[in-house]
Structure 1
């Protein structure tokens, strides 16, 4: 089991890999009662790439982030901002 998990880096890598304009990606991390929430803002033209058809991409991203966070005993999710 890894000692540390870089969830911040994972979210950044996943989002910037999907978009055409990675320099426009903004990720804010906030704590909530349910765990950590990563709020992702992209260029409006790239938002659809992060969400995917019928939300498949964002669902897969949430699954990966939640699994990585569970290794540290915490919970995390990803939200896409308009």
Structure 2
């Protein structure tokens, strides 16, 4: 899942080397913490959050095979 998130985000940003995806697993949830360069934050979020929502939709769809609830936080 980390590779999927990185693959989606890399073409959107000016500093792809600053992309970090950390994973926090709990009992029935998995949280992916995506961090990018501050100047790329607007590109990842998009107007009215549309890009972020699209990224989350793809990640959630890819994670439906898991028994856990998936969250994506962008920082």
Tell me the TM-score normalized by structure 1: 0.80
- 2:39 equivalent in structure 1: 45
Gapped regions of structure 2 (runs ≥ 5): none
Shift in alpha-carbon separation, 1:72–1:34, aligned structure 2, 3 A: closer
Aligned-residue offset at 1:8: 1.7
Quick check: 1:62 aligned with 2:47? Answer: no
Runs of 4+ in 1 over 4 A off after TM superposition: none
Q: How many residues align?
A: 75
CA distance in 2, matches of 1:71, 1:30: 18
Higher helix share: 2
Task: Quote the offset at 1:19 in angstroms.
Answer: 0.6
SS in 1 for 2:72: strand
Work out whether 1:22 is the aligned partner of 2:20: no
Distance 1:32 1:51, change over 3 A: farther
